Structure 1
Amino acid sequence: MKYYIKQQVFSWRDRFTVKDEKGKDVYFVEGELFSWGKKIDVADASGNVVLHIKQNLWNWLPNYTLFMHGHEVATVKKELSFLKPRYSIFGPDWEVEGNIWEHDYQIWENDALVATITKEWFTWGDSYELDIEDDSNMLLALGIIITIDCVIATQQAASSS
């Protein structure tokens, strides 16, 4: 199933909506404005927080933990690499491949495709298409995608200052 992420431009904190193919709001994503490290909550259409992403401080490279319903389900770590960004995912046996800087990549589990992420160009704000092969992986895949986007945005902001 396909989902669409459209981030709001000029927001003081991370805030965006995830829509399904019919344009219906499925998830609401919001980051905490004042916190030590990045913290992001994903709520369902009823307002219940179903996914929490927390930056693990005091690491040399970016490192985030994902929680679903209060239980740790994955850790995403940026790896040291010189040519292209690499991420390790601990929890599920998933791998990220593709052009991460261009937001055109896939998440794989062994030889099975879990999700494809593509950036929609020429839109106001960042917009992404997320194609999930199995809907049961939606929340975790969404969390990993948000985490990778967070790392990229932080690095771009640091390099532009």
Structure 2
Amino acid sequence: MFETKLLFKQRLFSWFDSYDIYDETEQTVYVVKGQLAWGHCLKIFSVYGEEVGTVKEKVLTLLPKFEVYEKERYIGCIQKELTFLKPKYDIDFNGWHIEGGYMEWDYTIVGPGGQRIAAISKELFHMTDTYVMDIVNPEDALYVLMFVLAIDAEKCSRN
């Protein structure tokens, strides 16, 4: 069912948020670098060094909110919803939403018709945060990555 698998590994010694994104053959697909900014700002680069996306935290909002950009073009946002039991997120992009247990980092991104876009799970017992993203359509890989980065940044801000 899944056509693309990406592995998201945080670098062990990094001043700003920094991640390497690999495919199932352990080839680097994207490099994510945190930028000095008020709030989280993560730049996503191709293996050729081309900037392909940005995840930028909006500051001075009641609840955490992140805007996502493909290159320079705004494409949507993700915002934490007010809940008391487990975190929930509202995605403003292609009718997507998130289902699952976010505290355990096992969740699913679902499309407007209920179709699965991606399944995300956190691997335990690693020195740094490591996530597996199983993505149905390879063309959605960058978008899924951006929303996973936003959720990870929001969780880091809470902890």
Q: Same fold (TM over 0.5)?
A: yes
In the TM superposition, residue 35 of structure 1 has moved relative to its aligned partner by 1.4
Q: How does 1:1-161 map to 2 (within 5 A)?
A: 1-32=4-35, 34-109=36-111, 110-156=113-159
Where in structure 1 are there 5+ consecutive unaligned residues?
157-161
Listed one character per residue, the Cα deviations across residues 67-119 of structure 1 (whole Å, up to 9, x for unaligned) are: 00211111100010011101001122001011111111000002100000011
Listed one character per residue, the Cα deviations across residues 22-71 of structure 1 (whole Å, up to 9, x for unaligned) are: 01000000111x31121110000100010111111110110110000211
RMSD over aligned CA atoms reads 0.9
Q: What letter corresponds to residue 14 of structure 1 in structure 2?
A: D
Aligned equivalents of 1:89, 1:8: Cα separation in 2: 27
Q: What letter corresponds to residue 11 of structure 1 in structure 2?
A: S
Aligned equivalents of 1:48, 1:82: Cα separation in 2: 40
Where in structure 2 are there 5+ consecutive unaligned residues?
none
Aligned equivalents of 1:79, 1:148: Cα separation in 2: 12
Normalising by structure 2, what TM-score?
0.95
Q: What letter corresponds to residue 79 of structure 1 in structure 2?
A: E
Aligned equivalents of 2:119, 2:132: Cα separation in 1: 8
Q: Structure 1: which 4+ aligned runs deviate by more than 2 Å?
A: none
Calculate percent identity across the aligned residue pairs.
32
Structure of higher RCO (CA pairs closer than 8 Å, 6+ residues apart): 2
